[in-house]
Amino acid sequence: MTVSTTQPRLSLGPVLYYWSRQELLDFYSRIADTSVDIVYLGETVCSKRRSLRSKDWLALAQKLTCAGKEVVLSTLNLIESAAELGTLKRLCSNGRFAVEANDIGAVQLLSGNFPFVAGASINIYNARTLRVLADQGLYRWVPPVELSRAALADLQRQRPDGVETEVFVYGRLPLAYSARCFTARARNLPKDDCRFSCADYPDGLELATRERESFLVLNGIQTQSARSCNLIAEVGNMASLGVEVLRISPQQQHTETIIEIFRRELSNRPSKGNAVRVVDKLTPAGSCNGYWYGVSGMDACTIAEAPWR
Amino acid sequence: MDRHYDMTQEAPTLPELVCPAGNLSALKAAVDYGADAVYMGFSDATNARHFAGLNFNTARAREGIRYAHERGTKVFLAINTYAQAADCTRWQMAVDLGAELGVDALILADIGVLDYAANRWPELRLHLSVQASATNPEAIRFYYRHFGIRRVVVPRVLSIKQVEQLAAQSPVPLEVFGFGSLCVMVEGRCLLSSYVTGQSPNTSGVCSPASAVSWEDTSRGVESRLNGVLIDRYGGGEAAGYPTLCKGRFKVGDNTYYAIEEPTSLNTLALLPELQKIGIAAIKIEGRQRSSTYVKQVTQVWRAALDACKQDLPRYQARPEWLRALQQVSEGTQTTLGAYHRPWQ
């Protein structure tokens, strides 16, 4: 692995929630004006969400490219039906934009034909896996969100040449996928008649414990953490780990502000006050960073606890 | 070339019955009561049921394999967690040991481990674990093309219709879950356990580990917690269950309910004729963490059901005494068809 001395670039992950067509278009026109370098576009959670069709996403990709962004088309995490596979095939063979694979089915379709990014739900836990995928055209990977800094450092030491690493540094953590739609279930509706319930929850539907402690977020067939992962305190050390890209996951509000706070941190022009606290105030339900520290993902550790300091 | 089942040409063969062996006595129970194959794991993080007091050391594994083989039962070895970067040799050693012990197949999930096994032991039969979450024919093709897998264990997220379509397009035969604890999430794609406890099936081979569980009798009822997070609270008369974190009661809006899944077991006894018609290669029984009594009971019922299918498929019906016997050993003493039955989704 060659350790880059340049600062990591910033990326914006795909919108994980069900926003309307207008909300998505407005959001991305604001994103075009931010300093984010890479934008991942597309529906990754549920094939029933069709605010934008494939051709709309491609048009948006074109626009953002013109605005100077690198665009990657992201794909569904759980592929079951023939229709979902059909959409996936069209995206994989678009011939123009790189694709983020979130299922091995996508890797198979892209293998040997198109360079691809492996998203966080592709289970890459060791260098041998990374090498097999790099041989098939992987040029960037997002480690599983549960991977600790220590595990990532081990893997980075054995990383094949020509592969970039992108770390999920901000947002509610995607934790699980199911055949069941939990948002529909919360309304006593079956998945086949979900009435697009997700549209009512632009940051997902919060699930609390019986002690009213905010715990998880239901987002259709996806389950997320209620707390947002916040690794802004680590930004300055990512380059020494050989991390090239930092991913911010969109939320309904403040996404552009969060991008600029991370940008300032990367450029050594930190925001006034403690950056961790500044970002924490912009989360929907508090923050966590335990995975990075090798403990429970929900924990919020402080810099003082970091064994690598 | 994909294999397509032509129902008109030949009667599908009876699915193999694959039963759990969490220890030697469970293995013997499965063999004695009619399993066609048993599956087991070593006592470390290389398998997805890494629980205290469970699984096999080398000597026990050798003894179990001998016992099974002498009676014509196959042995599959599950090495189905993800090899961790700091310690990959542990997974490679498990593969080597399995090959040397003469197991009939390895059940693997990790691409790195599959790559190692396919190169080091090219003759050894490889099955793709459910933990690899292969839910579509393209995903299966990837593992078939690169590692020559000969069977796929399908995640418990597909409807029966989807299983049928997958079987028709898959380059290799499918193994499906027939009975046992139900994962509501796609296996291999669930990090809920590590979010709460730091340990997950992918990294440590455990879910909601016992070391993180605590119980407390309070004025509000018995409370079960996982690393301090309240998973459920049981009022007077309610039987308290193990706090598997997706099977607790939570609040969404004003409602308190099983927001993710009820404590229930999967039971597909009623679907057996359909599974056979689809050409399913094997039915898997979950439960390496369960007792040998469970294994005996479940193996016995499923053997009888499969034999009934063989004798007279058109008249097959799940018998009430079978269902009663399975009910007794079910989690939460309820059973469901799970995702096979579309409305469950």
Q: Letter for the amino acid at A180?
A: R
Q: Which residue has the tokens 């953490």?
A: A225
Strand, coil or helix: what is B236? Answer: coil
Q: Answer yes or no: are the C-beta atoms of B134 and B146 closer than 8 Å.
A: no
pLDDT confidence of residue A309: 67
* Residue A38: pLDDT over 90: yes
Of B112, B185, B198, the CB nearest to A178: B185
> Which of B166, B187, B189, B203 best tests the A interface by mutation, with the highest count of A CBs <10 A?
B189
- pLDDT value at B8 more than 50: no
Burial letters A129-146, b for 16+ CB under 10 A, else e: bbbbbbebbbebbbbbbb
Residue A3 belongs to some domain of the structure: no
Q: Say yes or no to pLDDT of A271 above 80.
A: no
Q: Are A215 and A204 spatial neighbours (Cβ–Cβ below 8 Å)?
A: no
Would you say residue A195 lies in a domain? yes
Q: Which of A91, A124, A135, A210 has the highest number of chain B CBs within 10 A, making it the mutation to test binding with B?
A: A210
Residue B318, amino acid: A
Per-residue model confidence (pLDDT) at position B181: 86
Q: How confident is the model at residue B117 (pLDDT cuts 50, 70, 90)?
A: very high
Q: What's the mean pLDDT when you consider all of chain A?
A: 95
Specify the pLDDT at position B12: 62
Nearest to B226 by CA among B242, B239, B214: B214
Q: Is the pLDDT of residue B38 over 50?
A: yes
Q: Distance (Å, rounded) from C-alpha A121 to C-alpha A177? A: 10
Confidence of residue A5 (pLDDT cuts 50, 70, 90): low
Query: Does B47 score more than 90 pLDDT?
Result: no
Counting residues of chain B whose pLDDT is more than 70, the rounded percentage is: 95
Of A151, A190, A209, the CB nearest to B86: A151
- For residue A149, give the CATH number of its domain: 3.20.20.70
Backbone angles phi, psi at A263, to 5 degrees: -60, -45
pLDDT at A78: 96
Domain B16-182+264-344 maps to which CATH number in 1.10.3720.10, 3.20.20.70, 3.40.50.300, 3.40.1130.10?
Answer: 3.20.20.70
A1 domain-assigned:
no
State the best of A80, A228, A287 to mutate against chain B, taking most chain B CBs within 10 Å.
A80
Tokens of B42: 């070593």
Q: Are A228 and A255 in contact (CB under 8 A)?
A: no
Asked whether the beta carbons of A223 and A279 are under 8 A apart, the reply is no
Which residue range(s) make up the domain with A178? Answer: 9-305
pLDDT at A123 over 90: yes
Which residues of chain B have a CB within 8 Å of the CB of A87? Answer: none
Domain ranges, ordered by start, for chain B: 16-182+264-344, 192-257
> Which residue of chain B is at minimal alpha-carbon distance from A222?
B185
Question: Is residue A4 domain-resident?
Answer: no
* pLDDT tens, residue by residue, A213-240: 999 999 999 999 999 999 999 998 898 9
**Residue B338 dihedral angles phi and psi, to the nearest 5°:** 60, -145
Domains contained in chain A, number: 1
Q: What is the pLDDT of residues B277-310, one digit of tens each?
A: 999 999 999 999 999 999 999 999 999 999 999 9
**Section A166-184 average pLDDT:** 97
Judge whether A201 and A15 are in contact, CB under 8 Å: no
pLDDT at A270 over 90: no
**Residues B314-322, mean pLDDT to the nearest whole number:** 93
Q: Which residues lie across from B216 on neighbouring strands?
A: B223
Cβ count within 10 A of residue A2:
8
Q: What is the ipTM of this complex?
A: 0.96
DSSP SS3 for A251? coil
Residue pair A167/A11 in contact by the 8 Å Cβ criterion: no
Q: Which residues of A touch B83 (CB under 8 A)?
A: 125-126, 128-129
Q: Which tens digit of pLDDT belongs to each residue from B138-152? A: 999 999 999 999 999
pLDDT top residue among B6 and B269:
B269
- Rounded to 5 degrees, what angle do the CA atoms A180, A185, A188 make? 145
The answer on pLDDT for B100 being more than 60 is yes
Instruction: Report pLDDT for B9.
Output: 41
Confidence of residue A302 (pLDDT cuts 50, 70, 90): confident
Q: Which pLDDT value is given to residue B4?
A: 40
Banded pLDDT at B5 (limits 50, 70, 90): very low
Contact B97, B57 (CB under 8 A): no
Contact A125 B83 (CB under 8 A): yes
pLDDT score of A4 = 52
How far apart (Å, rounded) are the C-alpha atoms in residues B165 and B137? 9
Q: Which of A75-84, A299-308, B103-112, B183-192 has the lowest mean pLDDT?
A: A299-308
pLDDT (average), residues B86-90: 92
d(CA B222, CA B268): 33
- What is the average per-residue pLDDT within B25-41? 98
In a domain, A42, yes or no: yes
A176 with B256: Cβ contact below 8 A:
no
